[in-house]
Amino acid sequence: MWFGKRLRLLKGSSHLLLILSTILHAAFAAAPPKSEKGLWLSDGYGLLLEINDDEIRAFQLTAISCIPGWTAKREQTLRSDNVGVFIGNATFRISNGPSADVKRLHVDGTVSDITLHRTGARPTACARVPDNSPPGNFVVFWKTFAEQYPFFALHKMNWSAAAREFRPQVTSTTRPDQLFEVLKRMIEPLQDAHTGIDAIDIKKDFDGWRKDDPNHLKEEDWKTGHQVIANRYLHGPLRHYCNGRVEFGILDHSIGYLGITAFYGFAGEDSYERAQETLRLALDAIFGEANKLNGLVIDVRLNHGGDDQLGIEIASRLTDRNYLAYTKAARNNLAGPLHFTAAQETWVVPSKGPNFHGDVVLLIGPDTVSAGETFTMALLGREPHVSRVGLNTQGVFSDVLNRSLPNGWRFRLPNEVYRTSDGTAFDGVGVPPDIRVSFFSRQDLADGRNAALEKAEYILSKSLRHDDP
Number of C-beta neighbours around residue 264 at 10 A: 18
- DSSP E strand stretches across 191-245: 196-199, 204-207, 239-241
CATH number of 219-407+416-467: 3.90.226.10
Q: What pLDDT does residue 34 have?
A: 57
Contact 400, 428 (CB under 8 A): no
DSSP state, 188? G
Four-point Cα dihedral 418, 421, 424, 427, nearest 10: -20
Task: Please state, rounded to an integer, the average pLDDT across all residues of the chain.
Answer: 90
Q: What pLDDT does residue 216 have?
A: 72
CA 29 – CA 4 distance, rounded (Å): 18
Q: What pLDDT does residue 31 have?
A: 36
CA 157 – CA 115 distance, rounded (Å): 30
* 185-to-279, 401, 423 alpha-carbon distances in Å: 40, 20, 33
CA atoms within 13 A on the CB side of 201: 10
For the domain made up of 130-207, the CATH class stated in words is: alpha beta
Q: Which of 215, 240, 379 lies closest to 302 in space, CA to CA? A: 215
Q: What pLDDT does residue 439 have?
A: 75
Asked whether the bond before 33 is cis by omega within 30 degrees of 0, the reply is no
**In the chain, what are the domain boundaries?**
38-126, 130-207, 219-407+416-467
DSSP state, 342? P
Helices (H), 169-212: 176-187
**Mean pLDDT, the chain cut into blocks of 10 residues (469 residues total):** 31 37 40 73 98 96 97 82 90 95 97 97 96 98 98 97 98 98 98 97 96 74 90 94 97 97 89 95 97 97 96 98 98 94 98 98 96 98 97 97 98 98 97 91 84 95 63
Q: One fold for both 130-207 and 219-407+416-467?
A: no
- Could you report the per-residue pLDDT of 12-57, keeping only the tens digit for each? 333 433 333 443 344 433 333 458 999 999 999 999 999 999 999 9
Q: What pLDDT does residue 5 have?
A: 27
Q: Which residues contact 40 (CB under 8 A, 6 or more apart)?
A: 48, 49, 50, 51, 103, 116, 117, 118, 119
- Could you report the per-residue pLDDT of 387-426, keeping only the tens digit for each? 999 999 999 999 999 999 999 999 999 999 999 999 999 9
CA 217 – CA 224 distance, rounded (Å): 11
Residue 139 φ then ψ, to 5°: -65, -40
As beta bridge partners, residue 307 has: none
Q: 72-81: long-range contacts at Cβ-Cβ below 8 A with a sequence spacing of 24 or more? A: 81/33
